[in-house]
Amino acid sequence: MLQTLFHVPNQVAGIPVFGIGLLLALWGLFSLGLLAWLGRRQGFNGETWSYVPVLALVAAVIAWLLPAVCDEQGLPVRGYGALLLAAVTSGTGLAVWRARRLGLQADLVFSVAFWMFVPGIIGARAFYVIEYWHDQYLPIYQQDGLRAMLGAVVNATQGGLVVYGSLIGAAIGLLAFVRTYRLPLLAVCDLIAPAMMLGLSLGRLGCLMNGCCFGGVCDHAWAVTFPPGSPPYYAQVVRGQIDGILLALDREGKPVIHRIDPDSPAGRAGLRKNDRIEKIDGRAIRSVDEAYRGLSGQYSDSKPMVIEVGGRPAVTLPAAPNVARSLPVHPTQIYSSINALLLCLLLLAYDPFSRRDGELFALMITVYPITRFLLEIIRTDESAIFGTGLSISQNVSLTLLLAAACLWFYILRRPAGKAFETAGEAG
């Protein structure tokens, strides 16, 4: 795990870098140069002016939102963000290589990547923010105000992107692109499908560096641990896994100790199975989540904790010792990276045998939801939703499988033939 690689300083030679500063000036020069080059190459038509909204959006981020992300040392460059950049670069490179083999210009791929990247990031971040709004972002808004909350929302380089959200956002950008330039949708989807999986493979390594998308506790030789402050460590504290307590609800809906390790600090202090937790340090406990969060205070406050249980005297837990690492967990980030790489290779191997546009893309959205559904079984960072007993990603996986079945039905009813192969042969 390596969340921060280095910091970009706030000032260079006394000149501010972020906000109304050096970076904004450089971006303005780049934007003007890009528009001038496009205008000279293809004229100031609709395609050229279509870049302006995205360029303006990036300028707004530099001017108003990046300063909220900076700390005293400057702008932190995260390991997650660096791997995300590597993912985009490698995916684009693979798509360019495949496009040239089909006799297509590399500009087509660069244009597709440009149209898909920003909506994809927005969709991935929006999906994450919506999923974790009440746990992460609403408290920031309530405590520090709108500016701090917006800074946390746009700080995607620190982690917090959901693959399915990126697929939705990128799909919207792709649809807009093919409709604007009247390109064959399924052929473009086939062109970029392996590239998306290659990018995802590298992006998942960024998840490992950030500590997100973690798995459940295990005792395998290849299990990994994470330091204090990381998402797995915090989750294990909140869930009572580090101090050996498993809570449940009794018949009256009150939190009780379902299982406890007698050799844990809580067990040695006198807590027992079936104890109903009523108060922690004088605060009434009404749910399992409140009980876990109350118990996590012993790791952050480093002081004794008084737990009032039903039917007998209160129990005092000593200040918790510093636990240097989380419990060993499945390295689901590595599993996901290998899974995406294998799917990329599968798509490339199947490509020579495909006979219709859309087959590669259909294969991708058939296999990936299945593997993602299975990986979610050992991931513990997402809770069940809508009373289904399944995580949000598992629900989306099932929906995507249904869409894949419909797409296969449509594709296999079409005559054989591939638009880009025909274009390549004609060229």
* 281 and 368 share one domain: no
Structural domain span for residue 390: 4-18+70-215+334-426
State residue 255's pLDDT score: 86
Task: Supply the CATH number for residue 281's domain.
Answer: 2.30.42.10
* 255 and 356 share one domain: no
State residue 297's pLDDT score: 66
State residue 187's pLDDT score: 93
* Class of residue 344 by CB neighbours under 10 A (exposed 0-12, middle 13-18, buried 19+): buried
Question: Does residue 364 belong to any structural domain of this protein?
Answer: yes
* 206 and 299 share one domain: no
Q: Give me the tens of pLDDT residue by residue for the chain, a chain 427 residues long.
A: 677 778 888 888 888 888 898 999 999 999 999 899 988 888 888 778 878 887 888 898 888 878 877 878 888 877 887 888 898 889 999 999 999 998 888 888 888 888 888 888 888 888 788 777 766 777 677 777 777 777 777 666 555 677 778 888 888 989 998 988 889 999 999 999 999 999 999 989 988 988 888 999 999 999 999 987 788 887 887 776 777 777 887 777 788 888 888 887 778 888 888 888 888 888 888 887 778 777 766 665 667 888 898 888 888 887 766 667 888 999 999 999 999 999 999 999 999 999 999 999 999 999 999 999 999 999 987 777 777 788 888 998 999 999 999 999 999 999 998 888 744 444 4
Asked which of 263, 283, 317 is the last residue of a domain, the reply is 317
State residue 246's pLDDT score: 78
* 269 and 362 share one domain: no
Q: Is 16 helix (H, G, I), strand (E, B) or coil?
A: strand
Q: Are 379 and 147 in contact (CB under 8 A)?
A: no
Q: Are 19 and 94 in contact (CB under 8 A)?
A: no
- Kind of pairing, strands 384-385 and 390-391? antiparallel
Q: Which residue has the tokens 């100031």?
A: 44
Question: Does residue 38 belong to any structural domain of this protein?
Answer: no
- How many structural domains are present in the chain? 2
Question: Does residue 48 belong to any structural domain of this protein?
Answer: no
Q: Are 280 and 291 in contact (CB under 8 A)?
A: yes
State residue 118's pLDDT score: 80
- Phi, psi of 221, rounded to the nearest 5 degrees: -65, -25
Question: Does residue 293 belong to any structural domain of this protein?
Answer: yes
State residue 302's pLDDT score: 67
DSSP string, 60-116: HIIIIIHHHH-BTTBEEEEHHHHHHHHHHHHHHHHHHHHHHHTT--HHHHHHHHHHH
* 134 and 11 share one domain: yes
* 8 and 143 share one domain: yes
Question: Does residue 237 belong to any structural domain of this protein?
Answer: yes
State residue 321's pLDDT score: 62
Q: Which helix (H) or strand (E) holds 259?
A: strand 255-260
Asked which of 285, 317, 349 is the last residue of a domain, the reply is 317
* 199 and 277 share one domain: no
* 118 and 255 share one domain: no
* 374 and 294 share one domain: no
Q: What angle (nearest 5°) sits at the alpha carbon of residue 55, between those of residues 190 and 82?
A: 65
Asked which of 317, 348, 378 is the last residue of a domain, the reply is 317
d(CA 393, CA 165): 10
* 207 and 302 share one domain: no
Question: Does residue 243 belong to any structural domain of this protein?
Answer: yes
State residue 42's pLDDT score: 85
* 193 and 253 share one domain: no
* 239 and 153 share one domain: no
